[in-house]
Chains A and B, each alone.
Chain A
Amino acid sequence: MRKPNSHKLMAIFSGLILLAVAVQVSQRVVKAAPPSGTSVSGMVKLDGTAPHQKPIDMSKEPSCAAIHKDHPVTTEGVVAGADGSLANVVVYISEGWSGGDVSSNPDPVFNQKGCQYQPHVMAVDENQHFKVVNSDQTSHNIHPMPAPGGANHEWNKSQPPGAAPIDTSWPAPEVAVHVKCNIHPWMSGYMVVIKGPYGISDDKGSYKIDNLPPGNYTLTAWQETYGTQAQKITVAAGKPATANFTFKAK
């Protein structure tokens, strides 16, 4: 009499396991569905005359001076077009974002090229891995200097030409971490660490943020010389929103 009972138990047990797996899998499928979103985009402009950007003298680094001999470079504190467009402005959600981290920039690379940082302003998510690469003939040292007192800490590494990329990440949001090279004091760049989606204005001053679920948000624009500006926006499903920013030249 026992054998038939144990078969029954096995059947019930297996059935329960199958049920549990099915429930789990079905839940997983629901979680994996990405939210459909709308976009917000706009133009970032400068009101007034852009401050004069100083030419950079790279004579102390002949290998880099040679790269720029036909097109001398200047500082990049304010990169403005003739039509008043402002580049390198990071636009991000500062309030209202309830989602997690979003990779607006899937494979960020901070490149040292021609003794300048490319891009001059790089935005990444908190804890997102990015690479620092040296494409020059000279050594550089990467010296990011986050604001003291937070979870991001200052570090300083040498990176000779041909060295492997440095793979690293920042644990906390910060707008923004200044990066310098001590060997080449004119080098200046920024790493902007953000939780949530963001866009960076291009050389026409145009930015776009995709995949925003409908809702009310505060949008903040950050420019390295002029600081931040905020705007409240409402994003409705299927209706791309527009938000423009204008910074006043000082």
Chain B
Amino acid sequence: MHTPRLNWIVCAVAMVALCGISSAQVTKYQEDQSLGTESHIGKLTGHAQDAKMNYRRYCVGCHGELGDGEGENAVWLDPKPRNFTLATFKCRSTPTGTLPTDEDLFNTIGRGLESSNMPSWNPLSSQARADLVAYVKHFSERWKNEKPGALIEVTPEPAVTAERIQAGQALFQKLECWKCHGVEGRANGPSADTLTDDQNRAIKPFNFHDQTRFKCGTEDRDLYRIFMSGLDGTPMPSFADNVKPDEAWDLVFYLRTLQPRTSTNIKEKQIAKQLGLKPINPNPPAPAAAPAPAPAPATENKSDDQNK
């Protein structure tokens, strides 16, 4: 029987229980020691503590409360949201295996990630983004014990020339980029179909033929950094051990010739057209056999002819 008194008791108990549950949730954020994490980007200092509300409003849906990429939207997304607890990031200006700089994370948040569900967060103030960088860092202990890697040297960008584009094409062949990216950069190389990321999920290589913007930026220097740092967590390795800084620009200019024409590659496309640049041949023919030695004068061969 639902007497008014019983109703009041049930309501009171429900309110106490709900308050308890919600305060427990607030406590989870408040008690976390690593909310003291800071970030430093130029003159800005970000504080993880100040990003809590923005993270809950804008980020938690994909990246999850625990920063593990298991937000409620994650099941519908491909590529999956970054798992911050692993402290492995794609867009870095530091060598493979090392942490990115705070500025790398700041730029990624601001720029967003092309062809993914990570939007550009430039509408947030730079202070808010700096605070979010600190918040991203607080999810992994690695930031406490380790400094970001040494900055990859990006030498000043030289002028685009035909020689450089041809040298870049030779590098594309020698480094076997085509194995994944394909000879025309169409992401259809022999190894493209079997690529998996560090969590064994299928992943596609970048398609230069169709795409104009990279996940980690749009400028030539961003492309330079991509293959010199490697995209950690993905199959894309670092080529820093085998490519000198000057050669790296040759490769950048050649890769630009594979892309659709935009404002970023006018010169490269022009030169490629002038050169009549063709895709590389992944299986160049074996070098021609050495020519047969010139026959000796007839008199000396008489005995041989008789034996044949």
| Residues in A lying within 8 Å of B, measured CB to CB | 60-62, 138-139, 141-143, 145, 148-149, 151, 153-160, 163-164, 166, 182-185
Determine the interface band of chain B, counting residues with CB < 8 A from chain A.
20 to 34
A60 with B235: CB separation less than 8 A: no
Contact B85 A148 (CB under 8 A): yes
Complex contacts, A141 vs chain B, CB 8 Å = 235, 237
| Distance A151 CA – B144 CA, assembled complex (angstroms) | 12
For A60, A145, A149, A155, the residue with the greatest tally of chain B CB atoms inside 10 Å of its CB is A155
Q: Is B190 in contact with A60, judged by CB distance below 8 angstroms?
A: yes
A234 to B85, CA, bound (A): 41
Measured in the bound complex, the distance between the Cα atoms of B233 and A50 in whole Å is 33
Nearest 9 pairs of A and B residues by beta carbon: A155-B97, A182-B235, A141-B237, A139-B176, A185-B194, A158-B237, A156-B237, A148-B86, A155-B96
Query: Are B195 and A182 in contact (CB-based, < 8 A)?
Result: yes
Contacts of B174 on A, CB cut-off 8 Å? 160
Q: A153-B98, A154-B97, A183-B176 are in contact. List 17 more A-B contacts (CB 8 A).
A: A60-B190, A139-B175, A154-B88, A155-B97, A156-B97, A156-B230, A156-B236, A156-B238, A157-B238, A157-B240, A160-B175, A163-B241, A164-B241, A182-B195, A182-B235, A183-B235, A185-B194
* Contact A157/B179 with A60-B191, A143-B235, A184-B191 known, Cβ cut-off 8 Å: no
The secondary-structure label for the interface of chain A is loop
Is B22 an interface residue when CB atoms closer than 8 A count as contact? no
B198 at the interface (CB under 8 A from A): yes
Which of chain A's residues have a CB closer than 8 A to the CB of B126?
Answer: none
Q: Is the CB of B198 within 8 A of A158?
A: no
Does B127 have its Cβ within 8 Å of any Cβ on chain A? no
Tell me whether B121 is interfacial, beta carbon within 8 Å. no
B195 surroundings in chain A (CB, below 8 A): 182, 185
Q: In the complex, are the beta carbons of A154 and B232 less than 8 A apart?
A: yes
Cβ of B149 to closest chain A Cβ, rounded Å: 10
Distance in angstroms from A150 CB to nearest chain B CB is 9
Q: How far is the CA of A165 from the CA of B92 in the complex (A)?
A: 25
Q: Which residues of A contact B191 (CB under 8 A)?
A: 60, 182-185
- Considering the complex, give the chain A residue whose CB is closest to the CB of B140: A149
Q: Which residues of A contact B236 (CB under 8 A)?
A: 156
Contact residue among B190, B237, B240 (Cβ-Cβ distance under 8 Å from A143)? B237
Contact B190 A166 (CB under 8 A): no
Chain B residue with Cβ nearest A148: B86
Checking A62, A149, A156, A164 against B235 with a beta-carbon cut-off of 8 angstroms, the contacting residue is A156
A164 to B242, CA, bound (A): 9
Query: Is B188 part of the binding interface, using a Cβ–Cβ cutoff of 8 Å?
Result: no
Q: Hey, which chain B residues are within 8 Å of A166, CB to CB?
A: 241
CA distance A169 to B238 in the complex (A): 17
Q: Which of B6-55 contact A (CB under 8 A)?
A: none
Chain B, residues 91-130, CB within 8 Å of chain A (1/0): the string is 0000011100000000000000000000000000000000
CA distance A63 to B236 in the complex (A): 22
What residues of B have a CB within 8 angstroms of the CB of A182 in the complex? 180, 191, 195-196, 235, 237
B143 within 8 A of A: no
User: Which A residues lie within 8 Å of B214 (CB)?
Assistant: none
13 A-B residue contacts at CB 8 Å?
A141-B237, A142-B237, A148-B86, A153-B142, A156-B235, A156-B236, A157-B96, A158-B239, A159-B242, A160-B174, A182-B235, A183-B179, A185-B195
Shortest CB–CB separation between residue B49 and chain A, in angstroms?
24
Across the interface, B242 reaches (CB within 8 A) one of A62, A142, A160, A185, namely: A160
A138 touching B194 in the complex, CB below 8 Å, given contacts A157-B230, A182-B237: no
Residue among A141, A149, A158 having the largest count of chain B Cβ atoms under 10 Å: A158
The chain A residue with its CB closest to the CB of B194 is A185
Which residues of chain B have C-beta atoms less than 8 A from A153's C-beta? 88, 97-98, 142
Q: How far is the CA of A159 from the CA of B96 in the complex (A)?
A: 14
Distance in angstroms between the alpha carbons of A159 and B179 in the assembled complex? 14
A149 to B86, CA, bound (A): 6
Min Cβ gap A183→B in Å is 5
Contact with A along B160-192 (1 / 0, CB 8 A): 000000000000001110011000000000110
Contacts A141-B237, A143-B235, A148-B88; A156 near B194 (Cβ below 8 A): no
B237: chain A residues within 8 A (beta carbon):
141-143, 156-158, 182
A163's contact among B85, B87, B230, B242, by CB below 8 Å, is which?
B242
Instruction: Please give, as numbers and ranges, the residues of chain A lying within 8 Å of B145 by CB-CB distance.
Output: 151
Best-surrounded residue of A62, A151, A157 (most CB of chain B within 10 A): A157
